[in-house]
Structures are given as structure tokens and as C-alpha cells.
């Protein structure tokens, strides 16, 4: 309900304005007022009622008493006391005078007196008298022709009095009648009161409509003063506040919020919006309050303090509506605003802090049994905003610990430990709590930060030593071993620390160094600790000695170790006396020495170390076999096949089958120029099959004193691989030149299409051509007489026909050399025949016509031979230009072993002697002219490989030379070596 005290105050103001207009007097001060009243009272005591001045004087005195009573009442309001200034006495006197006057004058002549009296009744608490007075005026208005203005004002005043009695329906009735008077003074106030009547009668929509209409007509919102009717901004603001109350009694929508904002006067719009939000909040409309506050925050002229208050209020609103997350966000905004606000008014800032603290504690109370992230965020925000509030900091950190939000707990602890505003004891306690929180978190990184933070801010030396140890141990746990090793070493050497922790630190520093394989540091520290900890001297000296071997192993096994590093380590090992070392240590010593020697190319030390291991009784036989195999591989890698054979022959491991062992021994013996036959035969007897067995059979043939016989014996097996049989047969033929003995082998179906059989066959053809060519080349036409001419021509034609037949025969052989030989003979002899025919003498006794006929006849007979010569010549040119067979033959000749080259030389020489030009002709010439290599070249290449076993270029060069003139097995052996290198494997 509308505040009755406010209505009373408004009535006083209105009455004062009315009285001012009636009296037409200037405002007096209190002293003048008292003096005038005293004078008038003396004057009235001296005159009678019959005196014409009595009535106006009485009225003037009543007006002055009423005015003074009103002034005194205002002073009493300010002093918050009832009647202490004498306002009641003045009102009672004024009422008595007005009542007396009404009995002396007509009703319609002194209407203003009625209002003064009525308001005095009201101020004196005699509302019933006032009501009866106004009802009387209204009742007798028509009969006594009372001034309509007085009647309208009577309705309005009666409405006010009825309103105060909570008779809102009746009050509204009189307000409606009063408002029908267009000249009614203070219409806005009457309209305003009518809206309150509807509000109190639960006619909320009507009440809202009335206020909205009133606010939309700003010119109506006036106050009647001595200067006339003026716009009343205070009244305007009151109406807006009441509209906020009306809106808040129902669900507030966005339209009403916008309407309120547009109706609010610009000069106090933000204040009214804040009031609207507060009213909505007060009446439980939290969502609307949140929206209104957002509109409030959009106002352009907000001060930092006002913005801060809004954020705090918004946080509380969201909290009340259960939106704790949003509430916390708004709380964060409030905190940010607080930080940006200059606290000119310290008391206000303190109050805001209390409000924010109350918000957090209230949120804590709500979520005490189930604290969540919103609560924790609120504490963190508060702590950042008010870092000196240690009570709230401790509460917040405890919440963070309970929720296992250790980073946030640490953050709050640091707000204490890093601030000099707290005592040393409080800071130290915060540092300890931070360490405890970090350790509970089991987060290694968090622990590291806490330890470092403690060491930075703490003055407790004893505790700091423990924290240093924990920090070093943390590095150890995180596998930051280098950092941990150095830290533990520092602790171990710090004599201020506890003996127990120092010993643990020493042990852990050595352990970290061992994991790092930092044997150099391990050795140094171990020797140092032997002096620092006499009771544990033996323990540390033993570790120092073992570290040497670990260092050597580390260097040897580290792919990044340089040759210089390994040589340095090897020198250190070889300078070590192992005479008194235990067998196990010696085994480790020679093993490491052999590894380093192998990596540094110190072959002598390597062999010496391996042999020393083999000679030790403590080394098992199986391990010795491994070492012998290892040494054999070393010799083999350096092409020392004799020593490789010697070592391999001593290996008796069951892991290798008999056939494989014999095959390897045979191969090594073969490469060492030793007799491998017994091993090859043993391997075959043991059941060796496949390609390796065929290679051994081929070698048995070539090593045999009777290779033809051995070839015939092995041919049934070698035919499984026709290419190998073909190669072996050629080598045997090149060695023995025994055509008849090898005939049966060359006639095997597996060799019919191979080069050996073809080579065998074409040799007869080459011999045949060699016999034929001189005959046709030496034949001449005999021009002695016609008979001899005809006879010799026929003989030549027979020879050319035979040449044509031999050309066909060469084509059947599918041999490029044979074809070129015959093409050359056909081309040259046919061309010569044409020339010989043309040079024959003309027969005697022929007439000119017969001579021409004779020439034409010769031309006709010569033309086919000329065409044949040209065709053969063209075919030869084509073959010399691009015959693949010629290119292959040239390449095979260049790569062939000497014994095979010997066989091919005849054929290559024939081709070289044939006329023609072209790419293939050049290839043949180049192959014949390729430089030959000496045995000295081969020895030099083998030495290079022996010294640099992994040098690919040297291996490829040796493979080429071995293919040309070396051991038959070496090319394939070297090819295998190259493949192993390419795959990243060692021999």
C-alpha cells in the first residue's frame, strides 16, 4: 500500500502552495512569523466580532498559524520527534479559528478555508471531521450553488481521506468525479492516487495503464506553486518507482522493461532502472531483475562505483535464481569492477567488500555439504580482489583442497606467502600448506613449482634442505636424471644437511649417473664419496671400479660416439691393470676391449682380446664357438680366407647343420685357394640341395683334373639350372677345346637354345664361310670368247646362289655374326658381278641395233643382282645401327673372364673386320679395345677391401676385377657383401 506518511507530506506541500496563493504574502522566517502572530493576537483581543476587520484578521491569523504549524512539522520530521517543535498546538489553534469563521461566513464564499480546515483536521488526526466536512460540501453543492472548483477539490480531498482509510473503491469514485473538472489543480496527483486505488483493489492492469498514460503525458506531471504550475521531476521519479512496483507484482516481460526505460526521465534513468531491478528482485522476479540490471549496465553514464554495485547485485540475483555459475561470472565482473574503482569513499568500498564477502559466505553456506566449482571460483575471485583477507583465503584454500583442486589451493596459498602484509609465521605456514597441497596432488610438475616457490620465499634452512632433497628426487622421478644427479651431488656434499639425507642423496646421484651412463661423473663422485663417507668407503670404491667398464660399454654402444671418443676409451682400458681382477671382470674387460677395437679398426687388439677370451677356462664352450665364429667373420671381412677357414673349422656348434658347415668351409677353402673338394663332397653327401649344391657341383667340375669327365658326371644335376650348366660347359670347352668329348653335353635338350650349344654349332659355320669366301672372291669372268664368257658367268651365278643359301643358313642359326658375314659377302659379290658384267667386251660382228639389244640384255640380267646387293647393304647398315644382339655380345665380351674372352675373340675380330658404320659397330670396336687388367691390379683391389671392408666403391671395383680375372666365386661373394651393406647389416 502507498505510504501514508508520504501522502501527508504531499498534502502539506499542496496546502502550503494553496495557502500561499490565498495569502499573497512572501515567505516569512521563523522569527518574523512569531512576531506577526503575536501582534495579530493582541489586535484581535482589542476588537469585537462586530468589527468589520475581525473576520479577515482572524482568517489571516489562522493562515499564519497553519503555515507555522506546517513549518514546525517539517522540522519535527527532520528531527525525528513527535510534536517537539509545537506543530500540534498551532494546528489546534488554527482549527478553532477556521471553525469559528465558518459559522460567520457563507459556505461558497470561503471555500479555501474549507481546505485549510480539512487538511488541518487531517494533520491533527481528525480525519473523520475532514470527511464529514467534504461530504457536506459535496451534498449541498447544488442546493447552495457552491463553486464547482471547490466541489471538485472536495471530491479529490475526500478521495485522499478515504484512501487513507483503505476505502480504495470509494476513493477512486471521488477521484474520477474530480478529474472530470478540466481545471482541477494537481490533476497528476489525483490520477496518481487513482492508480494506487486500482492497485490496492487488485486491478493491476488498470493501475499500470493509468501510470503509463500519466508518464506518457509529461506536461501533466506538475506541482502548483506560488509561481504557478511547474514540472515536478521529484514527483515524476516517484511515479516511475511506483510503476516499477506495479510491474513487479506480475511477471515482468521484455516489453515492460523497454517501456519503463523509455518512460524514465534521462536525468535519473539509471537510478530508476536500478530501483526497478531492486524491486523486481525484492518481489522474487529474479530473471527480470537480471535483465533489468543488464539494461542498467548499458547506460552510458554509469560511474565505476555504480557499475560495481550492479555487478554485485546481479551476482546475488543469479545466485537467488539458482544460476550459481552465472552468478559466479557476474561476481567476477563485480570483482573486476571493484579493482578498477577508485575508493574515494572508503566506507562505501568497505561496504561493498562486506557485500561481496557476504555473497561468498552465503554461497558457501548453501553448498557446504556439496561444494562445487562455482563456490571455489567465488573464493578465488574474492581472494584476487581482497588478497589481504586471510580468513577468506584460508577458507577458499580449504575448499580447493577438499575438492582436490590443488592448483587453485596453491594459488590462494601464494597470495599469503608472497605478501609482506602477513606475518612471517603466516607466510611460512602458507608455504608449508602449498607444498602439502602439491604433494597430495601427485602432479610432478605442480610439486616442482611448489618446491621452487618454497625455496624462493622461505627462511627456514632446515626445512629448505628437505625441500631441496624432495626437488632433486622429483627430478629423478621425472627422469630428468642429469638435473637430479647434479642436485643430489650438491646435497651429498653439503655438510649442513642431515647425515641420513646426505647419504641417500649420494646413492641417488650415483644411480642417476648410472642411468645416464655418465660413467665419468659416476667414477669421480664415487671416489669423492669414499672420502666424504668413510663408513661406506668400500662400497663407493667398488662402484668407481665398475664404472670404468660401464663407461667403456657406453662409448662403444653409443652410435654418436666419435672415433676419437672410442680410441680414448680403448686407451683407458688397455692402460688398466687387470692382473688382480676377478674372472668375471676380465671377461667384461676383454669383451669391451674387443668391441672398442673393432669399432676403431685396431685389428691387432681386437684379435688379441678375442683370443684371450677363447683361452679363458671360465668362458663356456658355446661362448667360445661364438667367439671363434666372430673372429672367423672378422678374417673373412678382411679377405683373410685362410685364417677365416682355420677359425671356422674349430667351430662345432650344434646350431649349424653338418651340410651348412661343410658348405661354408668348402667356400672359405675355395676362396683361400685351398682344395675344397672334400668339403663340397661332404656337404653333398650330407644332403645339401638347391642352388648352393649346384654351385658346388660346378666348382667340382672346374676344379677337376678331368673336367670333361666330371662335367658329364654332374650334368644330370646341373641341368636343373641350364644357365649354370651352359656357363660350366663353355668354361670346360675353353679349357680343353675337346669338341668330341663335349658333344653329348652340348646336345642336351637343356642347352639347345643356350649360348654354349649355339657357340658350338656356329664354329662349323664360321669354318665353312672361311672356305667359301676365298672361292667366290677370287672368281673372275673370262672374256676370251663367247663360250668362256657364258661359262664363267654361269659359274659366278652358281657361287652367288650358294652365297644366298648360306645367308639363309645364317638366319636359321640366329647368330648375328654369321648373318653379318653373309650379308657382307652377298652385298659385295653381287655388286662385283654387276660391275664385271658391265665391263665385258662387246661381241664382234654385231650391228648397232644388235649392240643396243645386247646392252639391254646385260642390264636386264644385272638388275636383280644390283638390287640384291643394295638390299643386303641396307640390312647391314640397319644391324650396325641398332642390333641388340651386337650390343649384348660386346657387353658380354667386356665382362667375360679371360678363358671365355679367348673363345669370343675370333668372333669379335670377324665383326671388327667387316665393313660398316654405326653405334653397334662402335660398341664392338670399343669392347675389343677395352684395356686389360693385370694381376697387380687385382692384388691392389683386394688390399683396399681388406683395409676398408665396408667401402662400397672398393667392393664394387674388386667385384669387377674378380669377374674379369679373379676367383670364380668372388663376384657372387662380393655381391652378397654389397647387399648386406645396403641392408645395414655387417658380415
**What is the SS3 assignment for 265-289?**
CHHHHHHHHHHHHHHHHHCCCHHHH
166 vs 599: CA distance, rounded Å:
113
- CATH label of the domain that carries residue 503: 1.25.40
Q: Is residue 772 situated within a structural domain? A: yes
Among residues 929, 950, 976, the one where a domain terminates is: 929
**What is the grid cell recorded at 919?**
653405334
Helix H or strand E segment including 224:
strand 222-225
Do 779 and 808 lie in one domain? The reply is yes
Asked whether residue 349 is assigned to any structural domain, the reply reads: no
Owner of C-alpha cell 513549518: 71
- What is the Cα 542 distance to its own chain's centre? 48
Q: Scanning the structure block, which residue is given the C-alpha cell 677395437? A: 597
976 domain-assigned: yes
One domain, residues 962 and 859: no
Consecutive H or E run containing 228? strand 228-231
* 214 in Cβ contact with 239 (< 8 Å): yes
Query: Is 330 among the domain residues?
Result: no
- Quick: pLDDT tens for 14-72: 444 344 433 334 557 777 877 888 777 787 777 877 777 777 787 788 778 878 877 78
Is 764 within a domain?
yes
User: What is the C-alpha end-to-end distance of the chain, expressed in Å?
Assistant: 108
Residue 883 forms part of a structural domain: yes
Which residues is 222 bridged to in the sheet?
231
Q: What DSSP state is assigned to residue 841?
A: P
Q: What's the rounded Cα separation, in Å, for the pair 88 and 76?
A: 11
Note whether 360 and 344 are within 8 A (CB): no
Looking at 929, 954, 976, the residue that finishes a domain is 929
Q: Is residue 784 part of a domain?
A: yes
**pLDDT for the residue 115:** 65
Do 787 and 899 share a structural domain?
Answer: yes
The three three-digit cell numbers of residue 798, written as one number: 652358281
Asked if 784 and 895 sit in the same domain, the reply is yes
Sign of CA dihedral 645, 646, 648, 654: positive
967 & 861 share domain: no
Is 117 within 8 Å of 99 (Cβ atoms)? yes
Q: Can you state the percent helix, strand and coil of the chain, rounding each to 5?
A: 75, 0, 20
Q: How far is residue 281's CA from residue 854's CA, in Å, rounded to a whole number? A: 141
Q: Which helix (H) or strand (E) holds 223?
A: strand 222-225
Structure confidence at residue 791 (pLDDT): 92
Helices (H), 533-602: 537-557, 563-574, 583-600
The reply to whether 908 falls in a domain is yes
**Which residues contact residue 111 at a Cβ distance below 8 angstroms, ignoring those fewer than 6 apart?**
146, 147, 149, 150, 153
Sequence-ordered list of residues with C-beta below 8 angstroms from that of 6, at least 6 positions apart, any chain? none
pLDDT per position as a tens digit, 446-483? 888 888 888 888 888 778 888 888 989 988 988 999 99
CA distance 277 to 318: 12
**Nearest Cα residue to 609 out of 627, 585, 621:** 627
493-525 burial, b at 16+ Cβ within 10 Å, e below that, comes to beeebeeebbbbbbbbbbbbbbebbbbebbbeb
Q: Is 479 helix (H, G, I), strand (E, B) or coil?
A: coil
DSSP helix/strand/coil, 371:
coil
* Cα four-point dihedral sign 751, 756, 757, 758: positive
The angle, 0 to 180 degrees and rounded to 10, between the axes of the packed helices 54-79 and 30-46 is 150
Is the domain of 944 the same as that of 870?
Answer: no
Instruction: Provide the domain count of the chain.
Output: 3
Residue 983 shares a structural domain with residue 891: no
- The span from the CA of 450 to the CA of 439, in Å, is 9
Buried b (16+ CB within 10 A) or exposed e, 595-616: bbbbbbebbebbbbbbebbbee
Determine if the pTM surpasses 0.75: no
H or E element: which one contains 140?
Answer: none
Nearest C-alpha neighbor of 540 from the set 526, 551, 528, 520? 526
- Residues 218 and 236 sit within 8 Å (Cβ to Cβ): yes
Number of residues in the chain: 987
Closest to 826 in 3D by CA, of 789, 876, 771: 876
Residue 786 in grid coordinates: 663367247
- Run of H or E including 813: helix 786-813
Q: What is the pLDDT of residue 253?
A: 92
Count of H-run helices and E-run strands, the chain: 48, 2
Domain of residue 522, residue span? 460-554
What's the CA gap between 168 and 837, in Å, rounded?
157
Tell whether 858 and 974 lie within a shared domain: no
**915 DSSP 8-state letter:** -
The number of beta carbons lying within 10 Å of the beta carbon of residue 458 is: 18
C-alpha separations of 848 from 768, 842, 845 in Å:
46, 11, 10
805 with 942, same domain: the answer is no
**809 & 905 share domain:** yes
At 1, is the secondary structure helix, strand, or coil? coil
Q: Give me the percent of the chain exceeding a pLDDT of 70.
A: 92
CA atoms within 13 A on the CB side of 454: 31
Residues 898 and 945 in one domain: no
SS3 229: strand
What span, in angstroms and rounded, lies between the C-alpha atoms of 635 and 645? 9
By the 8 A CB rule, do 787 and 770 touch? no
Residue found under cell 661359262: 791
How far is the C-alpha of 714 from the C-alpha of 711, rounded, in Å?
Answer: 5
SS3 state of residue 646: helix
Q: Residue 832 and residue 799: Cα distance in Å, rounded?
A: 12
Query: Which of 554, 578, 613 is the last residue in one of the domains?
Result: 554
DSSP for residue 80: T
Contact (Cβ atoms closer than 8 angstroms) between residue 321 and residue 313: no
Give the Cα separation of 350 and 428 in Å (integer).
29
Instruction: For residue 825, give the C-alpha cell.
Output: 659377302
The answer to whether the CB of 774 falls within 8 A of the CB of 943 is no
pLDDT score recorded for residue 507: 93
Residues of the chain with pLDDT under 50: 1-25, 107-108, 987
- Same-domain status, 961 and 917: no
* Residue 246 contacts residue 208 (beta carbons within 8 Å): yes
Amino acid at each position: 500500500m502507498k505510504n501514508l506518511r508520504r501522502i501527508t507530506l504531499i498534502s502539506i506541500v499542496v496546502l502550503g502552495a494553496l495557502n500561499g496563493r490565498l495569502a499573497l504574502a512572501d515567505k516569512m522566517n521563523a522569527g518574523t512569523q512569531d512576531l506577526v502572530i503575536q501582534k495579530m493576537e493582541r489586535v484581535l483581543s482589542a476588537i469585537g466580532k462586530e468589527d468589520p476587520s475581525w473576520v479577515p484578521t482572524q482568517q489571516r491569523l489562522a493562515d499564519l498559524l497553519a503555515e507555522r504549524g506546517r513549518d514546525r512539522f517539517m522540522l519535527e520530521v527532520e528531527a525525528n520527534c513527535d510534536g517537539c517543535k509545537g506543530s500540534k498546538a498551532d494546528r489546534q489553534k488554527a482549527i478553532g479559528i477556521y471553525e469559528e469563521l465558518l459559522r460567520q461566513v457563507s459556505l461558497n464564499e470561503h471555500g479555501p478555508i474549507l481546505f485549510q480546515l480539512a487538511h488541518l483536521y487531517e494533520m491533527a488526526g481528525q480525519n473523520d471531521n475532514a470527511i464529514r466536512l467534504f461530504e457536506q460540501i459535496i451534498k449541498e453543492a447544488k442546493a447552495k450553488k457552491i463553486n464547482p472548483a471547490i466541489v471538485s477539490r472536495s471530491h479529490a480531498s475526500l478521495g485522499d481521506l478515504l484512501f487513507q482509510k483503505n476505502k480504495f473503491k470509494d476513493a477512486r469514485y471521488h477521484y474520477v468525479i474530480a478529474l472530470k473538472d478540466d481545471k482541477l489543480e494537481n490533476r497528476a496527483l489525483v490520477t496518481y492516487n487513482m492508480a494506487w486505488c486500482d492497485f490496492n483493489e487488485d486491478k493491476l492492469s488498470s493501475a499500470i495503464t493509468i501510470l503509463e498514460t500519466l508518464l506518457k503525458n509529461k506536461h501533466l506531471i506538475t506541482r502548483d506553486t506560488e509561481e504557478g504550475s511547474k514540472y515536478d521531476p521529484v514527483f515524476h521519479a516517484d511515479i516511475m518507482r511506483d510503476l516499477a512496483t506495479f510491474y513487479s507484482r506480475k511477471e515482468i516481460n521484455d516489453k515492460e522493461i523497454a517501456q519503463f526505460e523509455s518512460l524514465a526521465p534521462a536525468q535519473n534513468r539509471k537510478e530508476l532502472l536500478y530501483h526497478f531491478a531492486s524491486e523486481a528482485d525484492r518481489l522474487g522476479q529474479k530473471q527480470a531483475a537480471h535483465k533489468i540490471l543488464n539494461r542498467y549496465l548499458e547506460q552510458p553514464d554509469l560511474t565505476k562505483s555504480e557499475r560495481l554495485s550492479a555487478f554485485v547485485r546481479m551476482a546475488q540475483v543469479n545466485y537467488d535464481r539458482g544460476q550459481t555459475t552465472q552468478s559466479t561470472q557476474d561476481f567476477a565482473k563485480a570483482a573486476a569492477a571493484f579493482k578498477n574503482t577508485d575508493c574515494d569513499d572508503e566506507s562505501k568500498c568497505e561496504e561493498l567488500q562486506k557485500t561481496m564477502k557476504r555473497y561468498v559466505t552465503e554461497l558457501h553456506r548453501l553448498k557446504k555439504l556439496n561444494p562445487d566449482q562455482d563456490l571455489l571460483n567465488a573464493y578465488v575471485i574474492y581472494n584476487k580482489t581482497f588478497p589481504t583477507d586471510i580468513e577468506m583465503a584460508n577458507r577458499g584454500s580449504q575448499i580447493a583442497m577438499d575438492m582436490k583442486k590443488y592448483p587453485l589451493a596453491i594459488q590462494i596459498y601464494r597470495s599469503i606467502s608472497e605478501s609482506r602484509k602477513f606475518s612471517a609465521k603466516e607466510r611460512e605456514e602458507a608455504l608449508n600448506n602449498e607444498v602439502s597441497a602439491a604433494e597430495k596432488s601427485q602432479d610432478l610438475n605442480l610439486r616442482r613449482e611448489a618446491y621452487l616457490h618454497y625455496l624462493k620465499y622461505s627462511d627456514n634452512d632446515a626445512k629448505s634442505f628437505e625441500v631441496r632433497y624432495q626437488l632433486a628426487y622429483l627430478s629423478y622421478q621425472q627422469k630428468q636424471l642429469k638435473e637430479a644427479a647434479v642436485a643430489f651431488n650438491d646435497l651429498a656434499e653439503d655438510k649442513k644437511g642431515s647425515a641420513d639425507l646426505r647419504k641417500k642423496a649420494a646413492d641417488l646421484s650415483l644411480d642417476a649417473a648410472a642411468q645416464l651412463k655418465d660413467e665419468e661423473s659416476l667414477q669421480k663422485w664415487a671416489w669423492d664419496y669414499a672420502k666424504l663417507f668413510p663408513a661406506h668407503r668400500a662400497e663407493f670404491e667398488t662402484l668407481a671400479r665398475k664404472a670404468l667398464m660401464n663407461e667403456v660399454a657406453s662409448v662403444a654402444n653409443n652410435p654418436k660416439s666419435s672415433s676419437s671418443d672410442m680410441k680414448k676409451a680403448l686407451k683407458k682400458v688397455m692402460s688398466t691393470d687387470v692382473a688382480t681382477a676377478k674372472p668375471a671382470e676380465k671377461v667384461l674387460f676383454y669383451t669391451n676391449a674387443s668391441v672398442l677395437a673393432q669399432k676403431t679398426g685396431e685389428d691387432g687388439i681386437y684379435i688379441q682380446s678375442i683370443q684371450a677370451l677363447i683361452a679363458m677356462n671360465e668362458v663356456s664352450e658355446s661362448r667360445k664357438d661364438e667367439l671363434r665364429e666372430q673372429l672367423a667373420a672378422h678374417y673373412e671381412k678382411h679377405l683373410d680366407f685362410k685364417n677365416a677357414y682355420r677359425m671356422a673349422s674349430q667351430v662345432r656348434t650344434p646350431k649349424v647343420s653338418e651340410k651348412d658347415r661343410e658348405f661354408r668351409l668348402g667356400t672359405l677353402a675355395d676362396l683361400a685357394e685351398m682344395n675344397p673338394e672334400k668339403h663340397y663332397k661332404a656337404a653333398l653327401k650330407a644332403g645339401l640341395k638347391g642352388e648352393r649344391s649346384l654351385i658346388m657341383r660346378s666348382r667340382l667340375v672346374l676344379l677337376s683334373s678331368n673336367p670333361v669327365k666330371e662335367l658329364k658326371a654332374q650334368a644330370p644335376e646341373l641341368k636343373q639350372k641350364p644357365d649354370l650348366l651352359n656357363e660350366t660347359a663353355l668354361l670346360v670347352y675353353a679349357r680343353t677345346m675337346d669338341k668330341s668329348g663335349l658333344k653329348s653335353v652340348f646336345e642336351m635338350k637343356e642347352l639347345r637354345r643356350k649360348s654354349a650349344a649355339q657357340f658350338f654349332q656356329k664354329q662349323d659355320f664360321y669354318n665353312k664361310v672361311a672356305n667359301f669366301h676365298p672361292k667366290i672372291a677370287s672368281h673372275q669372268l673370262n672374256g676370251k670368247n663367247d663360250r668362256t664368257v657364258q661359262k664363267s658367268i654361269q659359274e659366278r651365278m652358281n657361287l652367288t646362289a650358294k652365297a644366298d643359301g648360306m645367308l639363309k643358313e645364317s638366319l636359321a642359326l640366329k647368330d648375328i655374326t654369321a648373318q653379318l658375314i653373309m650379308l657382307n659377302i652377298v652385298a659385295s659379290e653381287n655388286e662385283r658381278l654387276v660391275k664385271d658384267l658391265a665391263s665385258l667386251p662387246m661381241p664382234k660382228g654385231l650391228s648397232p641395233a644388235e649392240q643396243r639389244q645386247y646392252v639391254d640384255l646385260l642390264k636386264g640380267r644385272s638388275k636383280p643382282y644390283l638390287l640384291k646387293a643394295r638390299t643386303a647393304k641396307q640390312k647391314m647398315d640397319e644391324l650396325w645401327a641398332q642390333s641388340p644382339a651386337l650390343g649384348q655380345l660386346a657387353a658380354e665380351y667386356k665382362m667375360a673372364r679371360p678363358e671365355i674372352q679367348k673363345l669370343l675373340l675370333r668372333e669379335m675380330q670377324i665383326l671388327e673386320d667387316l665393313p660398316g658404320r654405326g653405334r653397334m659397330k662402335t660398341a664392338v670396336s670399343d669392347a675389343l679395345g677395352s684395356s686389360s687388367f693385370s694381376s697387380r691390379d687385382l692384388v691392389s683391389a683386394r688390399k683396399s677391401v681388406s683395409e676398408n671392408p665396408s667401402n662400397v666403391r672398393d667392393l664394387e671395383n674388386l667385384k669387377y676385377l674378380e669377374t674379369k680375372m679373379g676367383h670364380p666365386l668372388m663376384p657372387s661373394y662380393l655381391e652378397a657383401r654389397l647387399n648386406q651393406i645396403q641392408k645395414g647389416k655387417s658380415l
